Structure formats: C-alpha cells, structure tokens
Amino acid sequence: MQQVDFTEAEIKHGTFNTCDLKNSTFDRTNIEHADFTSAYNFNINPNFNQIKHASFSKENISGLLSSFHIKIKN
C-alpha cells in the first residue's frame, strides 16, 4: 500500500492492518478513530489531519511526530 495519496479522504474508523504506508500522503485527511497500531512507514502531521481518537502503537508513534522534529529515545 505504498505511495497512496489519501489527501482529503474520509477514513474514519479505518483499519491499516500491517500496512506499509511508505511515501503515502496524508493531507487534510479524516482518520478519526482509525487504527494504525500495526501500520508502519507512515508520516502523518497532526496539524493538517483530523486524528482524534485514532490508535497508534509505541513502535510507530515516530511516524506521527516526525513533522515536529522531536527526538524519541528508548
């Protein structure tokens, strides 16, 4: 599922089960209540997407924070 353009998509309650989202675009996308717990290689900026109540795992949370240039340490 790489290089998918989800711009302005409505994916409320969607499930990204073990999806490799490398080079996919999330821009003004509604992913409220979506499940990303087993997804990987994504880059989602919370400032430009609706993410309320979406689920992520500790292992992939960096894909949600990378736009903030935050260092995540173990």
Structural domain boundaries, residue 61 = 1-66
Tally the domains of the chain: 1
Residue 72 lies in a domain: no
Burial class (CB in 10 A: 0-12, 13-18, 19+), 71: exposed
Question: Phi/psi class of residue 58: alpha, beta or left (left: φ > 0; alpha: ψ in -120 to 50)?
Answer: alpha
- The pLDDT value recorded for residue 2 is 94
Angle at 26 between CA 39 and CA 28, to 5 degrees: 135
Tell me the backbone φ, ψ of residue 10, rounded to 5 degrees: -105, 105
- The pLDDT value recorded for residue 72 is 79
- The pLDDT value recorded for residue 69 is 87
Per-residue pLDDT of the chain (74 residues; tens, 9 = 90+): 899 999 999 999 999 999 999 999 999 999 999 999 999 999 999 999 999 999 999 989 889 888 888 887 77
Residue 71 lies in a domain: no
